[in-house]
Chains A and B, each alone.
Chain A
Amino acid sequence: MEALHDFELVRAATLDDVLKARAAHPQSALVGGGTDLMVNIRRGIVTPPVLIDVTQVGELQAVNADEGALEIGASVTLNTLAQDDAMRRHYPVVAEAAHAIAGPTQRNMGTVGGNLCLDTRCIFYNQSEWWRSANNHCLKTTGDTCHVAPKSHGVCFATYSGDLAPALLVLGAEVDIASPSGTRTIPLNDLYIGYARHDDAVEGDGKNFLSLEAGEIVTAVRAANTSGLTSAYDKIRIRRSIEYPVAGVAVALLRDGDALVDLRVAVTGTNPRPVLLEGTAELCGGPLNDDVLQGLDALARDQIMPMKTTFTPGHYRRRVASVLAQRLVTRLYAE
């Protein structure tokens, strides 16, 4: 096993401690369960001189859910979320997504904030120092080439693979962000700025994928006005545990009589960001039928762009994401 580098560990007790430490150490990293960060540290991908442990911070531990709203603190463990009765009853999409993450050991340690801000992944990036060096590094670290698409013109295609983000996106969630200069709340969708398309005005990519400013941290995620939405999450895995999503899909919908009146679909494991499909509102208004499902398939094919960032081919990930989306929609509509 690779030795850890020397670092200072700050055990924060309050949010204030965290923010002060963050301000004092701009190169620091927050550590919750460490299930992703420690792996990256051991691989020499990151070497933060200071780690700020946020697992004991009281302000970050809230888990509240009722039929109209939910609030989850950043240090809540994935297992707590997966097992929470109210969450399972009102927001199965969230509990299912939490339960689908990695294996029991990682869920006991891993946190909501860590999963939401999960570093993007790529088979050319999540490798040892020796490996990356032997491969001339890549855009996401110190190299000048994206090995996924050598003609990417400086765009990194690393894939966002958090399971929770799509589940919360379909609930219209917002995130609370704190910094020494105050707090702000933004739509969760705006936390992610990574795009994989050259034709868009590129704000971010697989390397620069979060909109957090220096010193800012995510403290909680919340959603309101969710009444009546039914929701679910599913993901394709090659094996049934300890897997990032080959493709993960969250759906929330509202049905009134036979009419589909609200439909939200979000996908993970395919692009440098979790993708809340655009255009689903246009599929609403009537009953669920083949036209709606074909319309959904077209949206998915258009907006999901997996590249060769995993061992599993991109074509499969894109197609199967659409299959999962159609299945979940069909199932929820029938419930």
Chain B
Amino acid sequence: MNESAPIRNIGDYVPMVDGPEKVSGRALYTADILEPGMLAGRIYRSPYAHAEILEVDTSKALALPGVKAVVTGADCDKTFGVLPISRSEHPIARERVRYRGEPVAAVAAIDDATAQKALGLITMKVRELPAYFTSKAALALDAVDLHEHKPGNLERDVFFELGDVEEAFSKADLVRQSTYNCAEVCQNQMEMHAAVAQYDAVRGRMTVHASTQVPYYVHLMLSQILDMEMSQIRVVKPYVGGGFGARTETLNIELISALLARKAGGTVRTVVSREETFITHRGRPETDITLKLGMTKTGRITGVECECHQRGGAHSGYGVVTILYAGSMLYAIYDLKNVKYIGKRVLTNTPPCGAFRGHGTVDVRFAFESLLDQMAGELGLDPVDVRRTNYLNAPTFTDNDLMINSYGLPECVDWVERESAWRERRGNLPKGKGLGMACSHYISGASKPVNWTGEPHATVKIKLDFDGSVVVLSGAAEIGQGSSTILVQSVAEVLGLDMSRIRIITGDSDVVPKDNGSYSSRVTFMVGNAAIDAAQNLKQVLVQAAARRLEARPEDIECLGEVYRAGTQDTGASFNEVVEEALKDTGTITVTGNYSTIPESHGGRKYRGSAIGGTMGYSYSAQVVEVTVDEETGVVTVDKVWVAHDCGKALNRLTVEGQVQGSVWMGMGQAMSEETGYHDGLLLTANMLDYRVPTIQDSPPIETGIVESNDPHGPFGAKEAGEGSLAGFLPALTNAIEDAIGVRFDDLPVTPDRVFAAIEKRERALARAAARKKSA
């Protein structure tokens, strides 16, 4: 009798495969690449917010001993950008600068000090233009256009009305409208942006190491900017210290480094400062929202009207997609009919915004869940029940044609309601304490990639050789989120092997298959499915080999991981024996796995841009936040958070819990302390003292519940876990504050001074009312 059994890991708490390198400090990041003869790259940045460039004089810099190359806008007339439809940005400004900090020139020198000195020798002459630091100012009728091809400084306006909103409001028992403002926030990955560009002048080849989430985009943009064949470019992604969306787009840093390297004929290493990392930005835009909801007295939403303005910054970037997400993702969480959306993505003289975690969905979700809560209160309904009243009936398609197959929101809501003892405690807490709840959702990868090529969405290769080691080759960018671990787990699970047999290689375009990258929470779903496909293909090869070895029919072969056998009485062949057999045919084995989304997931055609929001599976999240508000100082303390996340199936409970808690935590930063501030377009908060990311001291206890709705298309049933729980924190917090002190905050972040000011305002109003009463 053979006691072997396949080894299972899915659903366990599995340590990250790259953990030992990271915790021991052995992991090498881009900035760790140091070679003899390497040049230091530095960027000269515009002190002007908006100006026509008349002259950039770099002659003195170039004459400085030790300076090997200087580049300006004159060195590159190409544009780059993540969206093929709106590439407005030059790596180095030409003709015009549009924000304070935009690159104007760059220097490669023998060391940092020389490069820095050279920057001080560069001068520019300009004709200043009016600059606009708010959406409103940029949209003014007499405003100068930032970009000639974008009249009125509108990067994109979106409009759709599905159903009849006016009719829906007329049928509602309660109609309310409110305005919301969410401050601009910026990602703060630990690692500052860095790139190392190596130009091989003999062969005309370029190798770039970059701190990126999408090496593929870097590859595309390098080819475009350098006007080089893609085949002559190699992109390597070393360990990356966080992304959060800031590194989805190719950044000017890697492009400028490459321009410098080619001009200098050598290697250029550019590691920018924290300030420059902030200025490079690609954060979440400042957003103004006007939201109107109609509701029946039972809490059913009859209609939605939402107008959303995003201050996008000086370039297109991801803007079109962000403003579309804000509208399309009104759907797919509740059963909505009659929705009208007006979105305006505005170009302003501030650093360009991008795809911050929860891309496009977060601020609108804040507004929606706030107004829902407010109206529930007015109607005397429990906020939890109002959510229940509006559940979707999955499987279904939304009015904007988003495909929903699995829907664990009800279980999420039940979990947080139960675990927080919502029924018993809400309304019964002491003065100054409150409970608030909210829901949120997110996509598991955009079902249509930005660069539509017709290729599969994901491709994974597995190599198996004489040594019996299984090597997974993937272009999926491990940026700390755990993608490599998930891929190793998936392959190990299919083959029934211990994870120690599996190695993974990622992040080198010379070696691994192309991948669309780590953004929109696509990797587990798409690359995970491709890894499963590859592992199944490998298993087929092994089963065939085992059949030959055991002189049995392939359909009778049972794979037990380390043993393959033909029936339970068979002692079988070991994995190594099967591998030996398999190699007889072909030598080293390589198999391919692919994954593509299905057309039904691609969104509809009801309005322009309606593909945005489409995905194979939506994650769902509910959370309850408990707060204490100090009414004398305005200090809000988060006492506890209960969060439940429907990730379909938790492939790795350790990383799922980490991602969910990280989302809550990042939401907490946006809700309570993080905001950028500008002084005439100069970023005032470009450091970690003034831009207040919460510290571990601010971290509340977070109870995490995992809901498994087993999506029919997900890898082992999984959906995304890394973003969907962010948005819910913001409204859950303000709803809790409202419960605690009766003051609702529609503007974020809710810093102590804002709470204090609101309480002062309330006290003054009460005093006035009392005085009126007295005099009457």
Which of A's residues lie within 8 Å of B, judged by CB? Answer: 1-3, 5-6, 103, 123-124, 126-128, 130-131, 133-135, 147, 236, 238-244, 246, 310-313, 315-316, 319-320, 323-324, 327
Contact, CB under 8 Å: A313 / B753: yes
Q: How far is the CA of A236 from the CA of B112 in the complex (A)?
A: 39
Chain B residue numbers with a CB within 8 Å of A123 are 679, 684, 690
Chain A residue numbers with a CB within 8 Å of B694 are 239
For the A-B complex, the count of residue pairs with Cβ-Cβ distances under 8 Å equals: 94
Interface 0/1 of B634-665, CB less than 8 Å to A: 11000000000000000000000000000000
Q: How far is the CA of A246 from the CA of B115 in the complex (A)?
A: 37
Nearest A-chain residue to B755, judged by Cβ? A316
Nearest A-chain residue to B754, judged by Cβ? A316
Number of residues from B at the complex interface, CB < 8 A: 42
Q: How far is the CA of A5 from the CA of B114 in the complex (A)?
A: 11
Q: Which of B116, B634, B695 is close to A2, meaning CB atoms less than 8 Å apart?
A: B116
Tell me if B558 counts as interface (CB < 8 A to partner A). Answer: no
Contact, CB under 8 Å: A324 / B273: no
Contact, CB under 8 Å: A1 / B271: yes
Nearest B-chain residue to A327, judged by Cβ? B632
Chain A residue numbers with a CB within 8 Å of B112 are 3
Contact, CB under 8 Å: B689 / A244: yes
Interface 0/1 of B687-727, CB less than 8 Å to A: 11110111111100000000000000000000000000000
Q: A123-B684, A316-B634 are in contact. Are A242 and B695 (CB under 8 A)?
A: yes
Contact, CB under 8 Å: B695 / A135: no
Name the residue in A103, A239, A240 with the highest tally of chain B Cβ atoms < 10 Å from its Cβ. Answer: A239
Distance between A244 CB and nearest chain B CB, rounded to angstroms: 7
Contact, CB under 8 Å: B756 / A319: yes
Tell me if B633 counts as interface (CB < 8 A to partner A). Answer: yes
Tell me if B6 counts as interface (CB < 8 A to partner A). Answer: no
Contact, CB under 8 Å: A323 / B632: yes
Chain B residue numbers with a CB within 8 Å of A5 are 113
Distance between A96 CB and nearest chain B CB, rounded to angstroms: 15
Q: Which of A103, A124, A236, A243 is close to B633, meaning CB atoms less than 8 Å apart?
A: A236
Contact, CB under 8 Å: B756 / A238: no
Chain B residue numbers with a CB within 8 Å of A128 are 273, 275, 686
Tell me if B751 counts as interface (CB < 8 A to partner A). Answer: yes
Contact, CB under 8 Å: B682 / A320: no
Tell me if B542 counts as interface (CB < 8 A to partner A). Answer: no
Tell me if B281 counts as interface (CB < 8 A to partner A). Answer: no
Contact, CB under 8 Å: A316 / B116: no
Q: How far is the CA of A16 from the CA of B757 in the complex (A)?
A: 53
Listed from nearest, the 5 A-B pairs whose CB atoms lie closest are A134-B47, A316-B753, A240-B697, A3-B112, A241-B695
Tell me if B441 counts as interface (CB < 8 A to partner A). Answer: no
Contact, CB under 8 Å: B677 / A311: yes
Distance between B533 CB and nearest chain A CB, rounded to angstroms: 44
Contact, CB under 8 Å: A316 / B752: yes
Distance between A219 CB and nearest chain B CB, rounded to angstroms: 29
Contact, CB under 8 Å: B682 / A131: yes
Interface of A is mostly: loop
Q: A2-B116, A130-B45 are in contact. Are A323 and B695 (CB under 8 A)?
A: no
Tell me if B192 counts as interface (CB < 8 A to partner A). Answer: yes
Distance between A112 CB and nearest chain B CB, rounded to angstroms: 21
Nearest A-chain residue to B756, judged by Cβ? A316
Q: How far is the CA of A112 from the CA of B695 in the complex (A)?
A: 24
Chain A residue numbers with a CB within 8 Å of B48 are 134
Q: How far is the CA of A182 from the CA of B682 in the complex (A)?
A: 47
Other than the given A2-B116, A131-B683, A242-B695, 9 more pairs (CB < 8 A) read: A1-B271, A3-B113, A127-B684, A133-B47, A134-B682, A241-B695, A242-B688, A312-B751, A312-B753
- Tell me the residues in window 726-758 of chain B with beta carbons closer than 8 Å to chain A beta carbons: 751-753, 756-757
Nearest A-chain residue to B47, judged by Cβ? A134
Q: How far is the CA of A246 from the CA of B695 in the complex (A)?
A: 16
Distance between B545 CB and nearest chain A CB, rounded to angstroms: 55
Contact, CB under 8 Å: A1 / B192: yes
Nearest B-chain residue to A4, judged by Cβ? B113
Q: A3-B116, A243-B689 are in contact. Are A131 and B275 (CB under 8 A)?
A: yes
Interface 0/1 of B241-285, CB less than 8 Å to A: 000000000000000000000000000000101110000000000
Contact, CB under 8 Å: A124 / B679: yes
Nearest B-chain residue to A6, judged by Cβ? B113
Contact, CB under 8 Å: B698 / A320: no
Tell me if B68 counts as interface (CB < 8 A to partner A). Answer: no
- Tell me the residues in window 293-348 of chain B with beta carbons closer than 8 Å to chain A beta carbons: none
Tell me if B357 counts as interface (CB < 8 A to partner A). Answer: no
Q: How far is the CA of A323 from the CA of B755 in the complex (A)?
A: 14
Distance between A100 CB and nearest chain B CB, rounded to angstroms: 11
Q: Which of B100, B273, B274, B633 is close to A134, meaning CB atoms less than 8 Å apart?
A: B100
Chain B residue numbers with a CB within 8 Å of A310 are 690
Nearest A-chain residue to B681, judged by Cβ? A134
Tell me if B673 counts as interface (CB < 8 A to partner A). Answer: yes
Name the residue in B683, B693, B698 with the highest tally of chain A Cβ atoms < 10 Å from its Cβ. Answer: B698
Chain A residue numbers with a CB within 8 Å of B673 are 238-239
Tell me if B685 counts as interface (CB < 8 A to partner A). Answer: yes
Q: How far is the CA of A94 from the CA of B139 in the complex (A)?
A: 54
- Tell me the residues in window 107-125 of chain B with beta carbons closer than 8 Å to chain A beta carbons: 111-113, 116
Contact, CB under 8 Å: A311 / B690: yes
Q: How far is the CA of A296 from the CA of B258 in the complex (A)?
A: 63
Contact, CB under 8 Å: A320 / B689: no
Q: How far is the CA of A5 from the CA of B116 in the complex (A)?
A: 10
18 contacts between A and B (CB under 8 A): A1-B271, A103-B695, A123-B679, A124-B679, A126-B689, A127-B275, A127-B684, A128-B273, A133-B47, A239-B673, A239-B695, A239-B697, A241-B696, A311-B677, A316-B634, A316-B753, A320-B634, A320-B752
Contact, CB under 8 Å: A135 / B682: yes
Nearest A-chain residue to B690, judged by Cβ? A311
Q: How far is the CA of A128 from the CA of B278 in the complex (A)?
A: 13
Nearest B-chain residue to A314, judged by Cβ? B753
Q: How far is the CA of A242 from the CA of B688 in the complex (A)?
A: 9
Q: A103-B695, A239-B697, A312-B751 are in contact. Are A323 and B689 (CB under 8 A)?
A: no
Distance between A3 CB and nearest chain B CB, rounded to angstroms: 4
Nearest A-chain residue to B116, judged by Cβ? A3
Contact, CB under 8 Å: B698 / A239: yes
Contact, CB under 8 Å: A320 / B756: yes
Contact, CB under 8 Å: B684 / A311: yes
Chain B residue numbers with a CB within 8 Å of A316 are 634, 752-753, 756-757
Q: Which of A6, A243, A311 is close to B685, meaning CB atoms less than 8 Å apart?
A: A311
Q: How far is the CA of A128 from the CA of B682 in the complex (A)?
A: 11
Contact, CB under 8 Å: A238 / B682: no
Contact, CB under 8 Å: A236 / B635: yes
Distance between A123 CB and nearest chain B CB, rounded to angstroms: 6
Distance between B56 CB and nearest chain A CB, rounded to angstroms: 16
Chain B residue numbers with a CB within 8 Å of A323 are 632-633
Chain A residue numbers with a CB within 8 Å of B47 are 130, 133-134
Contact, CB under 8 Å: B752 / A236: yes
Q: How far is the CA of A242 from the CA of B693 in the complex (A)?
A: 10
Nearest A-chain residue to B749, judged by Cβ? A238
Distance between B211 CB and nearest chain A CB, rounded to angstroms: 14
Chain B residue numbers with a CB within 8 Å of A147 are 679
Interface 0/1 of B83-118, CB less than 8 Å to A: 000000000000000001000000000011100100
Nearest A-chain residue to B45, judged by Cβ? A130
Chain B residue numbers with a CB within 8 Å of A241 are 695-698
Q: How far is the CA of A43 from the CA of B445 in the complex (A)?
A: 41
Distance between B296 CB and nearest chain A CB, rounded to angstroms: 41
Nearest A-chain residue to B637, judged by Cβ? A240
Contact, CB under 8 Å: A324 / B689: no
Chain A residue numbers with a CB within 8 Å of B693 are 239
Q: How far is the CA of A312 from the CA of B755 in the complex (A)?
A: 12
Chain A residue numbers with a CB within 8 Å of B274 are 1
Contact, CB under 8 Å: B273 / A320: no
Nearest B-chain residue to A131, judged by Cβ? B682
Chain A residue numbers with a CB within 8 Å of B677 are 311
Contact, CB under 8 Å: B633 / A2: no
Q: How far is the CA of A103 from the CA of B694 in the complex (A)?
A: 12
Contact, CB under 8 Å: A320 / B633: yes
Distance between B671 CB and nearest chain A CB, rounded to angstroms: 12
